[in-house]
Amino acid sequence: MPIKKKVGDVWRRVGTITKRKVDGKTEVRGSIYSYHEARQRFINLIRDFYRKNEQDFSSPEEVFKIFVVAALTGKILPVARLIEKTYSKGSFRKLDEASTSGKIRITVPH
């Protein structure tokens, strides 16, 4: 069951509550996601990549997997290619320069 928080006039999912039976007793656990704002921006980014490249992906989860593999293996070339294809040639380099200089500001539509 999701835990929701009202942000402006929109309810956002910020955690989960789970319930299960253990030895005949009901156990309830809750967790709040860390870095909620960053998570929401990342989700919006994944959706944007999917919308702009629907012909290449069957779902937003498939786009997400590209980032997971890059994070786990360090092989970021597929991410770079996706960024270049989606936002134009040279955009990955610009993103790298902005992030290393500390002057990064990414705006993704909701």
Q: At what angle do helices 60-73 and 77-87 cross, to 10 degrees?
A: 140
Q: Give yes or no for residue 106 having a pLDDT over 60.
A: no
- Average model confidence (pLDDT) across the chain: 81
Q: What is the pTM (predicted TM-score) of this model?
A: 0.62
Q: Give yes or no for residue 107 having a pLDDT over 70.
A: no
Provide the β-strand partners of residue 70. Answer: none
Q: Give yes or no for residue 61 having a pLDDT over 90.
A: yes
The CA angle 16-110-79, to the nearest 5 degrees, is: 85
What's the chain's Rg over C-alpha atoms? Answer: 18
Give the pLDDT confidence of 63-103 residue by residue, as tens digits.
Answer: 999 999 999 999 999 999 999 999 889 888 887 777 676 66
